[in-house]
Chains A and B, each alone.
Chain A
Amino acid sequence: MEPALLVLFVVFGLLIGILFGFFGMGGSFLVTPALLVLGYPSRVAVGSGLAFVFGTSVIGALRHRDHGQVDYKLAAIMTVAMTVGIEAGKRVVDTLHAAGSADLVISVTYVGLLAAVGLVTLRDARSTGSSSVDLSERVQALEIPPMVTLRGDVRVSGTLIVALGLVVGVLSGFLGVGGGFLLMPAMMYGLGVPAAIAVGTDILQITISGAFGAFVYAKDGLVALPVVATLLLGSALGARIGASATSLVDDDEIKGYFAAMLLAGSLAVATKRIGATYGIEALSTVSIALVFGATVLVSGAVVLAAVCRLRNGGTDTWCRLLTS
């Protein structure tokens, strides 16, 4: 591997690691397009993306465990329910594929979901009275046995957790993504799990699904190990920084950055799809620029917010800019 490419992979890994450690999402969502741009075959890009997500999530999960931000009971229930849901989601894709409309339906659903979750999260981050608290309180009030007690003194129906895992699993299998961007808000808004614990639990769940995905692709020789190993050099440090930042930055600030990532992702997928439909090559470049631009900006904002918090709010221009 050329030295310039090696440095690029380490730096890119560092930025993704910060986002992953902080949000519990964004691994394959960012790595796979990057590898495609660099000319790797699509299946190798997906396989290497999954192996990278697995490695980074191991580090993120260990770090969150150190901070006491993982709920193993919730992760176990979610993993089982999501595995069943993913299988069902794949069957929906197969049916749509046979009808010849899979690509369009998946793209439109992906854009709609990213935008919807992004807008709901943004609204919640900006509002003082929270409607999401009402929703999770209503969910917690439903006494459907067996009742389960989660970290953060959250008591909720185990049946509802399974149902939520099934729905997220179906969407995840349908869209062909890890599900981090769905699982984290589902736990936060649906079950009322505190944001930091939702991130930690989400990362543990991604570790398990990432390991399985990497194994499946590796069986067909579709994982570029040197690429994964180099990206991990950066992301291991980044995941540490990102996970540490979750205990410094407020829940509402986390939600604001999360919303920004989702909205940028939604716009990127929509731009790419329009470009592909109408044969406009420039839109594909715009889409890639959106993904990479959002990565640099949001990971920079996360680090800056944590540094400002360390300085007790910080009064310099950058900190004021961040809180204005």
Chain B
Amino acid sequence: MIDVTSLPSTAQALVLVGAVLAESIALYVGYGAITAAVGESVRRILRGE
């Protein structure tokens, strides 16, 4: 395993920005899957059907 704290500050910053990007994409995909699964049911409930 790579010890991130031993990396130069520029590399650490890149790892951090990469981690935020990875989490954002993972959440986008994850919530997207949930939305696809239950989104239409929620819309129907909101429409009062």
In the complex, A307 has a CB within 8 A of chain B: yes
CB-nearest residue of chain A relative to B27? A236
Structural contact, A218 and B28, CB atoms closer than 8 A: no
Q: How large is the interface on A (under 10, 10 to 19, 20 to 34, 35 or more residues)?
A: 20 to 34
Q: Secondary structure at chain B's binding surface: helix, strand, loop or mixed?
A: helix
**Contact pattern, A 233-256, Cβ under 8 Å of B = 1, otherwise 0:** 100110010000000000000000
Minimum CB–CB distance from B43 to chain A (whole Å) comes to: 6
The interface-forming segment of A55-63, A133-141, A170-178 is A55-63
With A215-B14, A311-B47 known as contacts, the answer to whether A59 contacts B20 (CB < 8 A) is no
Residues in A neighbouring B14, C-beta threshold 8 A? 215
CA distance A219 to B17 in the complex (A): 10
Q: Does B6 count as interface, using CB distance less than 8 angstroms?
A: no
A76 within 8 Å of B (CB atoms): no
Contact call B48/A311, Cβ cutoff below 8 A:
yes
A interface SS class: helix
Identify which of B10, B20, B31, B35 contacts A54 (C-beta below 8 A).
B20
Contacts A310-B46, A311-B48; A55 near B24 (Cβ below 8 A): yes
Contact across chains for B20 and A236 when beta carbons are under 8 A apart: no
B24 & A310 in contact (Cβ 8 Å cutoff): no
Interface residues of B (CB under 8 A from A): 9-10, 12-14, 16-17, 19-21, 23-25, 27-28, 30-32, 35, 43, 46-48
Question: What residues of chain A have their CB less than 8 Å away from a CB belonging to chain B?
Answer: 51, 54-56, 58-59, 62-63, 211, 214-216, 218-221, 223, 225, 228-229, 232-233, 236-237, 240, 307, 310-311
